[in-house]
Every structure is written in C-alpha cells, then in structure tokens.
Amino acid sequence: MRLHVANHPLVTHKLTVLRDKNTQSPTFRLLVDELVTLLAYEATREVHTEPVEIETPVTTTTGAKLADPRPLVVPILRAGLGMLEGMTRLLPTAEVGFLGMQRDEETLEAITYANRLPEDLSGRQCFLLDPMLATGGTLVAAIDYLLARGARDVTAVCLLAAPEGLKVVEDHVGDRADVSVVVAAVDERLNEKAYIVPGLGDAGDRLYGIV
C-alpha cells in the first residue's frame, strides 16, 4: 500500500476550516468539494492514458486522452457522496458506482446495506471516496468488494486518516493488489470511541446534519 499526504498550503487552510466546530454545513460542504478536487489532482497522477493525434490551429501533434476502460469512482455512502462532485470535476468521463456502508458503533465492524457496482472491474482503475479512514474497517470492506469483482488498481481518497486505520488497510491488502491512499493529513490517533483525534467530528453529520 502506498500513502500520499497532500502537503500544500491550500489543503492545510481548507482542512483547518473544516476542523473548526463552528463551521456550518453549507460552508463545510463547499470546502469538502474544493478540498477533494485538490486531492483528486494527486490521486490521478497515474491515471491510464493513451496517445491521440489532434490538429492544433498551427499543426498536427500527439497528445493524450484517458484510456478505456474508463475509471470508476465509488463514493461510500453517505459521507462519501459529499466528495463525489469534487472528484468528478477532475474526472468528468469516469463512471460512478456506489457502496452503502456504515459502522456498527458497538462492534466497529462495517455493515454493507447497498451495492451498485459493475460485476466485472477487470482492468478498471477504481477510486474510493470516504472522508474518514478511522479504524480501517469500512475501507477494507470496500476494497474487498472491488477486488472480488476483478479490480487490481484501487486508490482511496480520504480527508483524514488515523495511523491505526492505515495499518489495518496495509496489513489486510498485503500484495493482493495495487492500493494507494491519498489524504489531506494523517492525524494523531483514535480515541476510545474510534473517532480520529484531533479530527473534524462525524463527517456525514457535518455535511448533511444529524439524521
């Protein structure tokens, strides 16, 4: 597993405002969208391309276009949905799948309640969207869903990660696939309730309110 922490002043600034408990949902949603676009730039550095010949107003030249099959972007519901627009802004031709997952607050295990993915992901680059990589359970379960359908190139885009969660993902994936994690920051630790510290609270609640 490869880890990339986006070290950029704009990333730090936006993340700081997200962390502030006084930041209201409308501003929070806007900043998540902007921050994910910055993270998407880093996450797509190795996106597959193929050469294409075009004509400029001056001459003919060879450029590059995204290769087939198209990348697949998979937000993990519900909080990952708030990251979708920021990601597809940079990858507008990508297809979108969905995974509905939530953490059992007693066992901390990930429970899957919805699945909308292609049956065959062979040869597809997949981008998982989940704001918080805390215990790692949800991300591990999501990666397993993709690998079971033939994916071997998976990049997770998260706002924050805890060291404990990163280790769980790394230990679980091993050498089964090419997995990368792109984050805005790696925080200190998990607390006794498995929340990231200092973190930013429950990303889903802060995006959409408490349901």
Flag whether 57 is marked binding.
Answer: no
Tell whether residue 71 is among the known ligand binding residues: no
> Phi/psi of residue 140, each to 5°?
-60, -45
Check whether 132 is labelled as a binding-site residue. Answer: yes
* Beta partners for residue 73, in sequence order: 96, 127
Residues annotated as catalytic are 103, 107, 202, 205
Distant-in-sequence, close-in-space partners of 194: CB < 8 Å, separation ≥ 6:
103, 108, 134, 135
- DSSP code of residue 178: E
Which SS3 state, helix, strand or coil, does residue 44 take? coil
- The reply to whether 18 sits in an annotated binding site is no
> Is 1 among the annotated ligand-binding positions?
no
Cα separation, 73 vs 64, whole angstroms: 21
Backbone angles phi, psi at 20, to 5 degrees: -60, 120
- Amino acid at position 136, single letter: G
On whether 202 is known to bind a ligand per the annotation, the reply is: yes
Q: Do the annotations mark residue 37 as ligand-binding?
A: no
- Please indicate if the annotation marks 78 as binding a ligand: yes
Answer yes or no: is 130 a known binding residue.
yes
Q: Is 135 annotated as a binding residue?
A: yes
Is 124 flagged in the annotation as binding? no
Kindly provide the residue ranges of all beta strands, DSSP E only, lying in 40-131, ordered along the sequence: 49-55, 60-66, 72-77, 95-96, 98-103, 110-116, 125-129
Helices (H), the chain: 9-19, 25-43, 84-90, 137-148, 163-173, 203-208
- Binding site for 5-phospho-alpha-D-ribose 1-diphosphate, by residue number, is 78, 103, 130-138, 202
- Binding site, by residue number, is 78, 103, 130-138, 196, 201-203
- Binding site for uracil, by residue number, is 196, 201-203
